[in-house]
Amino acid sequence: MIGPVMFLALGALLVELDRERGQGWKRTWQKAMLAAMNVSFLGTLLATITAILSLAWRSNLLPPKVLGVVTVVAILAFWISLLAHFQDVEKTSGQHS
């Protein structure tokens, strides 16, 4: 579950950056989405790397509860970023020239 969410977050961030094409992050929803995407990507990346290193070293680097919390926060941040994206698109639809 962790890997797909990480790559979904990265893909959605790249799509959003491409959509903006240098217009800058000016609107509130854009800033919220960017922050949530970063939390989502870094959270899933941390959990994935920790899980891989724990397998390599045959001991848990972080307790399973901590990894669970990090993963849940990352997944929630991903859904929040999608909500922020759709709110931003809805508010700005028809305003692009």
Higher confidence at residue 51 or residue 25?
Answer: 51
pLDDT value of position 1? 52
Supply the pTM of this predicted model.
Answer: 0.64
Give a yes or no: residue 41 inside a domain. yes
Total of domains in the chain: 1
Range of the domain at 42: 2-14+29-92
Tell me: the pLDDT tens digits for 34-88?
Answer: 778 778 777 877 877 888 888 888 888 888 888 888 888 888 888 888 888 788 7
Q: Is there a domain that residue 20 lies in?
A: no
Higher pLDDT pick, 36 / 94: 36
3-state per-residue secondary structure call for the chain: CHHHHHHHHHHHHHHHHHHHCCCCCCCHHHHHHHHHHHHHHHHHHHHHHHHHHHHHHCCCCCCHHHHHHHHHHHHHHHHHHHHHHHHHHHHHCCCCC
